Structure 1
Amino acid sequence: MEKDMDKPTSAGDSSTSRTGTRFISRDTATMGCGFSNFTTFRGEKQDFARLVMPQYLRLAILDSIRKQDVDGGDQHFQMPRSDDDPCCETPIVVFINPNSGGRHGPVLKERLQNLISEEQVFDLHDVKPHEFVRYGLACLEKWAESGDACAKETRMKIRVVVAGGDGTVGWVLGCLGELHQEGRLPVPPVAIIPLGTGNDLSRSFGWGGSFPFSWKSAIKRTLQRATTGPICHLDSWHVVVQMPGGEVVDPPHSLKATEECDVDQTLKIEGHVPDKVNCYQGVFYNYFSIGMDAQVAYGFHNLRNDKPYLAQGPISNKIIYSGYSCSQGWFLTPCMSDPSLRGLCNILSIHVKRANCSEWEPITVPGSVRAIVALNLHSYGSGRNPWGNLKPEYLEKRGFVEAHVDDGLLEIFGLKQGWHASFVMVELISAKHIAQAASIRLELRGGEWRDAFLQMDGEPWKQPMSSEYSTIVEIKRVPFQSVMISGD
């Protein structure tokens, strides 16, 4: 595949004929199954013709991405075309993670390519979302500015569908966020085909919590909703981790090393800051957590990586995760027996900025709490709402407001131990409500603890700590919102 991607595509060759050959072979194979199947296939193609971009645009986008050059598809705009060729009514592109969804991933990819076109369905192994943004969309923008009416209309109307789990959706949203930063508007809105284990982003925007067994008909309904669904918005949150220099951290995919450590210097640090620090930054959409829940997630991820045969799909993942949780001290070991299992108040201090407030306010960490979660969505842990639907009088008493995904606030709550977390997740009791915040500052110092465990949107990591120097984690809202499509 890499060799094909590196080949330049000329005006008269190759891409068009190769694509045409593939579709002809599929039609021929379908005819062999009987005229009825052939007619059905043709009918489905006709039903979704409004989603298919003109061929010259599809090939120009694909060549620009393959060559990683905005000018890489120019030859397709220079070919003779009929003025009667219609522009696409509702253009979409699909990013699919074929590793998600168990055995459905590759079959789903082929199904989508048949319904739309091969050039509009991107396998994330071959085409990364930032490549689409920097080269594919930029190609459309270039020719829109040059007067190509169809390129302009396509760029204005294009929508994105992501087939994958929450991590895949977050990856695509993060890359589309570059458009905000560069002023390249409008930003394409995103719909979701849920292929992950938790699918909390998908649940929150009405796309469901799992991939249905009757997936062939479901795909057609999803494509219909993706092109007609209303637009809504989602807050995203920027995380900066400042840690003592010399420490080694194995960060998750969503956390990248950075030279700039953009933490607020006006707030006094309780510990010490060394002369040299390492900094990491990233973005999350659903939640950030610290404590025992992240430790369990970290152990489960390592177990799954070491023994991938144990986790063959969402159901087996959940069973193994539950069993692994029960084997940890969060459930069965008294806190007193091991210093590493004591409450977070021993290693953590929290400051927050409330809505419309510029001053940091200290927040008491309850002594019984062993996991703290800052939640953005209504859905956490495969569809649960641990914050709960709080009554107006309780909200007023605590100084809270009703939670929304676009209100610029995170809901901070605590979990005491595994049993408490289990009862919270089945909504028999509520989580320990701590605060609502527009910004959060966490300060970690080790004491007898050598490591803390943190996670962002299901990606956990082990954070080394020092008894002398502080590790700072600062969370602020990204100034622009992600654009979503409602599936409700």
Structure 2
Amino acid sequence: MDSPTSGAAETSTTRIVARSSMMDSFWSCGLSGLRIDKENLKRKISMPQYLRVAIREAIRARDLSYAGYGDVNVGGRVEPPEAPMVVFVNSKSGGRHGPELKHRLQQLMSEEQVLDLSSVKPHEFVEYGLGCLEKLAALGDTCAKEMREKLRIVVAGGDGTVGWILGCLAELNKQGREPIPPTGIIPLGTGNDLSRSFGWGGSFPFAWKSAVKRSLHRAMTGPICHLDSWHVLISMPGEEDIEPPYSLKPAEHCALDPVGYMKLYWSSYGLLQGLAVEEQQPEKVTCYEGVFYNYFSIGMDAQVAYGFHHLRNEKPYLAQGPISNKLIYSGYSCTQGWFCTPCVSGPNLRGLKNILKIYTKESKGSDWKHIPIPSSVRAIVALNLHNYGSGRHPWGNLRPDYLEKRGFVEAHFDDGLLEIFGLKHGWHASFVMGEFISAKHIAQAAAVRLEVRGGEWKKSYMQMDGEPWKQPLNKQFSTFVEIKRVPFQSMMIDGSS
């Protein structure tokens, strides 16, 4: 066992704790909780017609002049709903339940409040839908003003979809357009670790028609909590041809300093001694940036995920649901050398220690520290949530004496820290995912810097929140990754209450 975990029962806290898979299943199947009256629910969450139409037309035309559509409600002639709500549905997530769910949601609220992500993108809603309410409020519409303040968002999709929408909502903070609508989740993805962490369940429920009503009721009444998000900046030499996932965008400005990294590396070994380190820099540098909420990883786990995603895209008929996805994923991992490294590939090159250096900051204002990588580790994960890999807990519930000995603190998703752990190989990962042991603990960090250089390696694999990509490596120049916490915390609805 890599590290001791607590065997005693945990005391109750005000924080959300990860539920077991069994409890997830019972909760999401709707076997507990009060009976929700359909008409009463619809009355509480449906927007007035004139506002629904104004929002819809503003989004369609991409023009805020539609904020004057109909009469402005000056003087409070129209009462706002108790809990106005907008639902985003990703019809491509998980087992393709989206179309049926969309129809059911439209029965439970107005049609205009259910947005299909294939036709309405979240940034369009933020700019024009919320902008419409804000403009009407500025014109004196008290109903629009109160709705904008009370609005809640529900996302029917997987972790990637939820992260996409959280990222768009975060733009409101940058623009000074507060409050930020809190977000609830109806899980449609394969892993649904964000959903699990906030008490929304780990899978699309069997008794889904009644469960959807309960989900909307919980989204209406659930308390608000916070979620850390993490900014990733990648700097690579030259103009490498890569296919970045949706979560990564070209960066206009790259603030990484390769020479500073070299000085950091040598000083960590006490070899700098006040001398300047001269490091030749590439003529051209390409940068990408993005945000993750769940995890960032590099190594074999990302390689397996990359192959699985391409297989699913080439043969979509295989993706019939979360269970079939997990079976295919497990089978595919056996073909990638994750469980048994092919001899021809050179086993000595498989350890990340050969290509990767890690530096961390333990807290804001602290110094960077070089963290040695165990030679056996073939995948490294920086984890933000309680859950990873469909509800597993690789960090474990560690005993207080072990936490003190290692200088760790209890892990939470709003503590400003990432838990960094390693996976050695497929067999080790299987025992970790089965929760027989915890993963290889490496560090807890408020910021992380990675330096990757190819040598015999031509490429590596990375992923953010389940979106993998193939990262080309250069033998002469390093690729740098910097991870820092975003100052703004996302607003989430606690679905466990």
- Classify the secondary structure of the residue corresponding to 1:163: strand
**CA deviation vs aligned residue, 1:272-311 (integer Å, no higher than 9, x gap):** 5312100000000000000011111111111111222222
Counterpart Cα distance in 1 of 2:261 and 2:74: 66
Counterpart Cα distance in 2 of 1:424 and 1:64: 49
Q: Report matched runs for 1:345-364 at 5 Å.
A: 345-364=353-372
Q: Is the 8 A contact 1:329 1:341 kept in 2?
A: no
Q: Structure 1 regions of 5+ residues with no counterpart?
A: 1-42
Runs of at least 4 residues of structure 1 off by over 4 A? 80-84, 334-337
- Classify the secondary structure of the residue corresponding to 1:197: coil
Q: Is the 8 A contact 2:74 2:140 kept in 1?
A: no
TM-score normalised by the chain length of structure 1: 0.88
Counterpart Cα distance in 2 of 1:227 and 1:194: 17
- For 2:306, which of 294, 298, 315 is the aligned residue? 298
Higher relative contact order (CA 8 A, sep 6+): 2
Partner residue of 1:283?
Answer: 291
Matching of residue 77 in structure 1 with residue 71 in structure 2: yes
Q: Is the 8 A contact 1:339 1:449 kept in 2?
A: no
Matching of residue 330 in structure 1 with residue 338 in structure 2: yes
- Classify the secondary structure of the residue corresponding to 2:100: helix
After TM superposition, give the deviation of residue 45 of structure 1 in Å.
Answer: 3.0
**CA deviation vs aligned residue, 1:155-197 (integer Å, no higher than 9, x gap):** 0000000000001000100000000111111100000000000
Partner residue of 1:15?
Answer: none
- Classify the secondary structure of the residue corresponding to 1:249: coil
Counterpart Cα distance in 2 of 1:173 and 1:340: 41
TM-score normalised by the chain length of structure 2: 0.87
Partner residue of 2:319?
Answer: 311
Q: Is the 8 A contact 2:41 2:217 kept in 1?
A: no
Counterpart Cα distance in 2 of 1:159 and 1:333: 48
Partner residue of 1:446?
Answer: 454
Matching of residue 206 in structure 1 with residue 199 in structure 2: yes
- For 2:487, which of 474, 479, 482 is the aligned residue? 479
Counterpart Cα distance in 2 of 1:102 and 1:261: 39
Q: Report matched runs for 1:140-289 at 5 Å.
A: 140-263=133-256, 267-269=260-262, 272-289=280-297
Q: Is the 8 A contact 2:75 2:142 kept in 1?
A: no
After TM superposition, give the deviation of residue 101 of structure 1 in Å.
Answer: 4.2
Q: Report matched runs for 1:20-59 at 5 Å.
A: 44-59=38-53
Matching of residue 403 in structure 1 with residue 396 in structure 2: no
Matching of residue 464 in structure 1 with residue 467 in structure 2: no
Counterpart Cα distance in 2 of 1:81 and 1:109: 33
Between 350-359 and 217-226, report the one with greater CA deviation: 350-359
Q: Is the 8 A contact 2:341 2:347 kept in 1?
A: no
After TM superposition, give the deviation of residue 437 of structure 1 in Å.
Answer: 0.4
Q: Partner amino acid for 1:161?
A: V
After TM superposition, give the deviation of residue 357 of structure 1 in Å.
Answer: 3.4
Between 146-155 and 260-269, report the one with greater CA deviation: 260-269
- Classify the secondary structure of the residue corresponding to 1:452: strand
Partner residue of 1:344?
Answer: 352
Q: Is the 8 A contact 1:335 1:342 kept in 2?
A: no
- For 2:82, which of 82, 89, 94 is the aligned residue? 89
Between 393-402 and 263-272, report the one with greater CA deviation: 263-272
Partner residue of 1:8?
Answer: none
- Classify the secondary structure of the residue corresponding to 2:214: helix
Matching of residue 431 in structure 1 with residue 439 in structure 2: yes
After TM superposition, give the deviation of residue 240 of structure 1 in Å.
Answer: 0.5
After TM superposition, give the deviation of residue 359 of structure 1 in Å.
Answer: 1.6
Counterpart Cα distance in 2 of 1:86 and 1:268: 59
Q: Structure 2 regions of 5+ residues with no counterpart?
A: 1-36, 266-278
Between 200-209 and 265-274, report the one with greater CA deviation: 265-274
Residue identity over aligned pairs, in percent, reads: 68
1:335–1:283 Cα change, 3 Å = farther
